[in-house]
């Protein structure tokens, strides 16, 4: 790539991976500097391997849900980074492995997913992967097009006895039981034979991709280290060839929990129908101060120098860094227009130049605000104002709504309310939209559909 070529992030900033590549920075050094490296096999060998030509690598995504979530973001960004360094990514949808169930990090067996549900999940995940990977080619310079394959296409065709003979013989039961994943499940008394096969079928994925597509590198999270090593070792034993593994550290919140959920426990889905762009923006803009630099490095493509400048301050001054993080992350997942609308709604709700910091003066007529629809047919005398706050996810139940109202924490538009047990229809009047508020920072526009 020419050093004169400029590639940008979704918001128009210079994109760090392409910039680093143009200036001779190796992919391995870039990944390490951005915090993507926890462990890798043969660092010197992998560095030379990636610098000596276009390489094919893969990451697997088990379609156990209808959408990916923010917890997948580290993997998505790692995937997209190496493509921006000119390598070919394969996204492996685990239609086959999901039917086995990954025991990693589990104290009980995963629920078996129906084949038709897996196929539906794959459709949603495919659209989300396209936000982070280039499936056409050339979007980031001379990068090759990404591929997406479903391991059900080869795993479901395997014959059991030949698989045991040709693949199973390369795996040591003693070694597998010594790994943390199987050790914990075994000691809890819950390891079943189906789960015990997971490492074999995941290792076979790597061997299949190596043979079919010359795929020589698997990436993943650090909790997958032993499974990925199983594939590297299988390629060496079965084909006498060398492959590589690189895993990134898992990101946890300051309280030690895995990222990907809001403070109230809601999953931060990438599907805008399940978690709105506005709420997605809020998730990132409310990042804990201690995590801002880590998140900027791992979840955006902006330059290191800009990140350093943004996090060189403390306290309230970090708001700008959080704003940039939220805008970049939301633009990546939902597009620039949706991200800008979420940012503008946030500015007007929570303060900014020329805006009342309490959110006064904003209107329920503004369609850019986070919105919940309630069907007109539901507006019976039994459907109370408390029910409306619950439907808008501003209260967990009628009891909490009453408690918040007694504390003076609930408002409709700009008016404080005390009684939430009245019919919601009685407070609507002729309006078909109102703005419900809980506390200082929680708002929801409610529209009667």
185 lies in the same domain as 40 = yes
Neighbour count for residue 99 (Cβ, 10 Å): 20
Tokens found for residue 193: 């034979």
Distance CA 82, CA 60 (A): 15
76 lies in the same domain as 162 = yes
Tokens found for residue 17: 């991976």
52 lies in the same domain as 186 = yes
Q: What digits encode the pLDDT tens for the residues 64-83? A: 788 999 989 999 999 999 99
346 lies in the same domain as 394 = no
Q: Output the domain CATH number for residue 206.
A: 3.40.50.620
197 lies in the same domain as 72 = yes
Asked if residue 123 is part of any domain, the answer here is yes
Q: Which domain holds residue 124?
A: 16-248
Q: Flag the least confident range among 111-120, 162-171, 351-360.
A: 351-360
Look up tokens 């404080």; give the residue.
416
Distance CA 231, CA 307 (A): 36
Asked if residue 2 is part of any domain, the answer here is no
Number of domains the chain contains: 3
pLDDT band at 210 (very low <50, low <70, confident <90, very high): very high
Q: What digits encode the pLDDT tens for the residues 106-130? A: 444 455 667 777 778 888 888 899 9
Asked if residue 3 is part of any domain, the answer here is no
What confidence score (pLDDT) does residue 368 get? Answer: 65
The mean pLDDT of 14-21, rounded to a whole number, is 96
Q: What digits encode the pLDDT tens for the residues 313-328? A: 999 999 999 999 999 9
104 lies in the same domain as 242 = yes
Q: Which stretch, 51-55, 150-154, 197-201, 432-436, has highest mean pLDDT?
A: 51-55
Q: Output the domain CATH number for residue 393.
A: 3.10.290.10
Asked if residue 72 is part of any domain, the answer here is yes
425 lies in the same domain as 338 = no
Q: Output the domain CATH number for residue 310.
A: 1.10.240.10
Look up tokens 């379609």; give the residue.
63
159 lies in the same domain as 91 = yes
What confidence score (pLDDT) does residue 432 get? Answer: 83
126 lies in the same domain as 204 = yes
405 lies in the same domain as 302 = no
**Strand 244-248's sheet: what is its strand order?**
39-40, 244-248, 215-221, 56-61, 88-93, 147-150
21 pLDDT more than 90: yes
Asked if residue 254 is part of any domain, the answer here is no
Residue 32 CA, distance from chain mean position: 20
Tokens found for residue 396: 């967990």
Q: Flag the least confident range among 118-122, 169-173, 230-234, 428-432.
A: 169-173
239 lies in the same domain as 116 = yes
Stronger pLDDT, 317 or 171, i.e. the higher one: 317
pLDDT band at 429 (very low <50, low <70, confident <90, very high): confident
Asked if residue 6 is part of any domain, the answer here is no
Average pLDDT for the chain: 86
Stronger pLDDT, 226 or 333, i.e. the higher one: 333
Strands 215-221 and 415-416: unpaired
51 lies in the same domain as 186 = yes
The pTM (predicted TM-score) of the whole model is 0.81
Neighbour count for residue 205 (Cβ, 10 Å): 26
253 pLDDT more than 90: no
Residue 172 CA, distance from chain mean position: 34
Q: What digits encode the pLDDT tens for the residues 273-329? A: 888 898 899 999 999 999 999 999 999 999 999 999 999 999 999 999 999 999 999
Q: Which helix (H) or strand (E) holds 192?
A: none
175 pLDDT more than 70: yes
Strands 244-248 and 215-221: parallel
From 293, 316, 350, the end of a domain falls on: 350
pLDDT band at 63 (very low <50, low <70, confident <90, very high): confident
Q: What is the dihedral of CA 154, 159, 160, 163, to 10 degrees?
A: -70
Q: Flag the least confident range among 137-151, 203-217, 287-301, 427-441.
A: 427-441
Angle CA 206–212–213, to nearest 5: 85
Asked if residue 258 is part of any domain, the answer here is no
Distance CA 156, CA 363 (A): 55
pLDDT band at 187 (very low <50, low <70, confident <90, very high): low
Q: What digits encode the pLDDT tens for the residues 362-382? A: 677 777 677 888 988 888 888
């Amino acid at each position: 790539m020419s050093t004169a070529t400029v590639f940008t992030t979704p918001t128009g900033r210079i994109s760090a991976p392409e910039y680093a590549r143009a200036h001779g920075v190796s992919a391995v050094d870039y990944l390490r500097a951005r915090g993507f490296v926890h462990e890798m096999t043969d660092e010197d060998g992998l560095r030379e391997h990636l610098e000596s030509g276009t390489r094919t690598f893969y990451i697997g995504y088990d379609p156990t849900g209808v959408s990916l979530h923010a917890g997948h973001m580290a993997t998505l960004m790692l995937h997209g980074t190496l493509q921006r360094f000119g390598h070919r990514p394969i996204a492996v949808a685990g239609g086959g492995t999901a039917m086995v169930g990954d025991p990693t990090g589990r104290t009980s067996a995963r629920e078996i997913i129906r084949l038709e549900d897996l196929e539906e999940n794959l459709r949603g995940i495919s659209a989300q992967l396209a936000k982070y990977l280039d499936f056409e080619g050339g979007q980031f310079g001379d990068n090759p097009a990404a591929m997406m394959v479903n391991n059900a296409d080869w795993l479901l065709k395997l014959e059991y006895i030949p698989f045991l003979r040709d693949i199973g013989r390369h795996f040591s039961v003693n070694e597998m039981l010594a790994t943390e994943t199987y050790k914990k499940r075994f000691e809890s008394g819950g390891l079943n034979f189906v789960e015990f096969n997971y490492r074999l079928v995941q290792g076979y994925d790597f061997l299949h991709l190596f043979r079919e597509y010359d795929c020589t590198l698997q990436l993943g999270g650090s909790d997958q280290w032993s499974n990925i090593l199983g594939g590297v070792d299988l390629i060496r034993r079965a084909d006498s060839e060398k492959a590589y593994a690189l895993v990134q550290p898992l990101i946890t919140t300051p309280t030690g929990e895995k990222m990907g959920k809001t403070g109230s426990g809601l999953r931060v889905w990438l599907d805008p129908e399940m978690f709105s762009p506005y709420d997605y923006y809020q998730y990132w803009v409310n990042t804990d101060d201690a995590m801002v630099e880590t998140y900027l490095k791992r979840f955006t493509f902006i330059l290191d120098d800009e990140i350093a400048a943004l996090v060189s301050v403390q306290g309230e001054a970090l708001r700008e860094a959080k704003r940039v993080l939220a805008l970049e992350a939301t633009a990546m997942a939902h597009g620039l227009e949706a991200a800008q609308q979420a940012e503008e709604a946030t500015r007007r709700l929570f303060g900014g130049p020329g805006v009342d910091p309490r959110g006064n003066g904003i209107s329920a007529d503004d369609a850019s605000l986070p919105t919940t629809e309630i069907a007109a047919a539901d507006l019976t005398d039994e459907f109370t104002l408390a029910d409306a706050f619950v439907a808008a996810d501003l209260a967990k139940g009628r009891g909490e709504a009453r408690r918040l109202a007694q504390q003076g924490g609930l408002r409709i538009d700009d008016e404080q309310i005390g009684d939430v047990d009245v019919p919601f229809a009685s407070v609507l009047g002729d309006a078909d939209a109102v703005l419900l508020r809980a506390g200082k920072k929680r708002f929801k526009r409610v529209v009667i559909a």
